[in-house]
């Protein structure tokens, strides 16, 4: 029987790479997107070419009603959710906390932390009823160490780490694993705004001397979601080239 993974924020970057990684091994993939319909459609066509069934689910994860609806969309399209990857996230421009507005703070918290809560709350009952499932959240190295001039993002991603560890204890008796990946500097749209000099400086901060790729994060997510990690739960796996040790 084909397994079903739902990936939030799957239309591009780490989410799209993760969708491809699951499809490579024959998983059915629910591709969640908020506004990037054309990118999501292109990805679905790509996965179909790989022989994977794909469904598009739309919604703003910061809205609890839309989060519930996107879970229902995924289940209606492809059946019970075997694995859930909470990847949807946004970041603000690099700035001081004192320059951050109330609306900016709520925007980041709403998507990066509240959004994870909303999606999980809607998806967990189905997993608990089957006593089976795997959840992978996506934090950041800044959620582990904190990043100067990225306080809202760091705070939200630190919340994801705490949520993951607590939920792993809560869902363990139901045979549901909950783990987290914490990417470092990755070549995505979130880092594309940096100058070549800043990108090189960031790369050199990592012992491996380079930035990572979305595919390398996707491999870590796939590992934690799958059977090879069947005795791993409540863990945070850093994918950062050794930047956080």
The catalytic residues are 153
How far is the C-alpha of 33 from the C-alpha of 39, rounded, in Å?
A: 9
Spell out where the chain has E strands.
4-7, 28-33, 54-58, 83-86, 133-138, 176-183, 236-239
**CA quadruple 117, 119, 120, 121: dihedral sign:** positive
How far is the C-alpha of 185 from the C-alpha of 194, rounded, in Å?
A: 11
Strand, coil or helix: 180: strand
Contact 88, 160 (CB under 8 A): no
Helix axes 13-24, 37-49, angle to 10 degrees: 20
How far is the C-alpha of 73 from the C-alpha of 150, rounded, in Å?
A: 34
Contact 10, 31 (CB under 8 A): yes
């Amino acid at each position: 029987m084909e397994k079903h993974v739902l990936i939030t924020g799957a239309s591009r970057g780490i989410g799209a790479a993760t969708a491809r990684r699951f499809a490579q091994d024959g998983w059915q993939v629910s591709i969640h997107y908020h506004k990037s319909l054309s990118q999501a459609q292109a990805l679905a066509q790509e996965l179909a070419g790989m022989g994977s069934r794909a469904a598009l689910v739309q919604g703003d994860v910061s809205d609890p009603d839309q989060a519930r609806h996107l879970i229902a969309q995924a289940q209606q399209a492809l059946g019970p959710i075997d694995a859930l990857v909470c990847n949807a996230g946004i970041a603000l421009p690099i700035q001081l906390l004192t320059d951050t507005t109330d609306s900016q703070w709520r925007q980041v918290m709403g998507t990066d932390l509240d959004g994870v809560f909303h999606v999980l709350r809607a998806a967990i009952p189905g997993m608990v009823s089957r006593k089976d499932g795997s959840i992978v959240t996506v934090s950041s190295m800044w959620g582990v160490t904190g990043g100067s001039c990225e306080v809202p993002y760091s705070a939200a991603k630190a919340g994801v780490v705490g949520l993951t560890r607590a939920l792993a204890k809560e869902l363990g008796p139901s045979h549901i694993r909950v783990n987290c990946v914490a990417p470092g500097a990755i070549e995505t749209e979130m880092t594309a705004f940096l100058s070549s000099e800043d990108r090189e400086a960031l790369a050199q901060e990592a012992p491996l001397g380079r930035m990572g790729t979305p595919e390398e994060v996707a491999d870590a997510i796939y590992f934690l979601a799958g059977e090879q990690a069947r005795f791993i739960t409540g863990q945070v796996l850093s994918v950062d080239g050794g930047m956080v040790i």
